[in-house]
Amino acid sequence: MLSPGQLPGGKQNVSMSEGLLSASAIEMPEGPSGAAWQRLLLACLFSALLHLVLIGIPVNPTGGVPNVVSTIQARLEPATIDEVSAAAAAEATVQSEALPAVSENAKAAAEPKRLEPKPAEKPAAPPASSPGSGIEVPFIRDPTYYPARQLDVYPQPVAMIQPKCPESAVAQRINGRVQLLVLIDEFGVVNEASVTEAQPPGLFDDAAVQAFRAARFVPAQKAGNHVKSRVLLRVNFLCGDTEAPAR
């Protein structure tokens, strides 16, 4: 049976107080084995001191001197001609590949069409006036009223002219006559009618003038043109005869 503090094999148990000795108080066995143990112990102490030193040094994750603003210097250099040409060629190649192929019809439509000059149009000739197309108006109006002896065609009334007998002539059954000078323009309109002679004087003047001023005529002609004319007309009033109109 082992006594307290005695280990198997005859070794004595060392207490905890005795185990906590400094390294200097430990007696190393003599001989080569003791020197090896001493070197191992020194290596362990050196490693522990090195770890303590590393732990105590502050760590700067960005590197360089702490609390100092680091400056990055950079500069732009122009690209060489070969690089610019290569980049432009690559861009042109990409754009040409992206554009769809243009058909021949689209190219033909895009080309401007040549406008052929049109021949100048000749002005249309004015239609020839026929004799039955109506009254031909001269370009310059002739102010002359031609007498009957200078006319080729005399003016003719469009409708029959019938002056009314005055009531006094009918009551007295008086007949008479009136000679008028009538001025007719190139359109057949009576411009003026005046009495040159009357029998009996003053009885039938107004009736004759009013009737001829309201009348229309086919205009007279001279050299194939319608002209103004002046003609003497004699009007007979048969108011004394029963129901006899003037003529």
Question: Do residues 242 and 152 lie in contact, with contact meaning Cβ atoms separated by under 8 Å?
Answer: no
Asked, for residue 153, whether it belongs to a domain, the answer is: yes
DSSP string for 196-217 = EEEESTTTSHHHHHHHHHT-BE
Q: How many domains does the chain have?
A: 1
Per DSSP, 189 falls in state: B
The pLDDT assigned to 224 comes to 93
User: For residues 5 and 13, is the Cβ–Cβ distance under 8 A?
Assistant: yes
Q: How many CB atoms lie within 10 A of CB 245?
A: 14
- pLDDT, one tens digit per residue, over 156-207 is 999 999 999 999 999 999 999 999 999 999 999 999 999 999 999 999 999 9
Q: Quick one: DSSP state of residue 235?
A: E
3-state secondary structure of 59: coil
- Do the domain assignments include residue 101? no
Q: Which amino acid is at 197?
A: E
User: Per the domain annotation, does 51 fall within a domain?
Assistant: no
* Spatial distance between the Cα atoms of 22 and 87, rounded to a whole number of angstroms: 77
Predicted confidence at residue 54, as pLDDT, reads 74
Q: How far, in Å, CA of 208 to CA of 169, rounded?
A: 13
pLDDT tens digit sequence for 6-57? 444 444 444 444 443 344 444 544 555 678 888 888 888 888 888 887 776 6
The CATH number given to whatever domain includes residue 195 is: 3.30.2420.10
Cα dihedral across residues 203, 207, 208, 213: positive or negative: positive
Residue 59 falls inside a structural domain: no
110 in a structural domain: no
CA-to-CA distance for 74 and 216, rounded, in angstroms?
112
Nearest to 213 by CA among 180, 165, 243: 180
20 is a domain residue: no
Q: What pLDDT is attached to residue 46?
A: 85
Q: Which residue type sits at 34?
A: G
Whole-angstrom Cα distance, residue 234 to residue 247? 9
| The pLDDT of residue 45 | 86
pLDDT, one tens digit per residue, over 98-120 is 445 445 555 555 565 666 666 66
The contacts of residue 193 (CB under 8 Å, 6+ apart) are 180, 181, 182, 183, 208, 209, 212, 213
227 part of a folded domain: yes
Q: State the pLDDT at residue 171.
A: 92
Q: Which pLDDT score, from 0 to 100, does residue 48 have?
A: 85
Domain interval for residue 209: 143-237
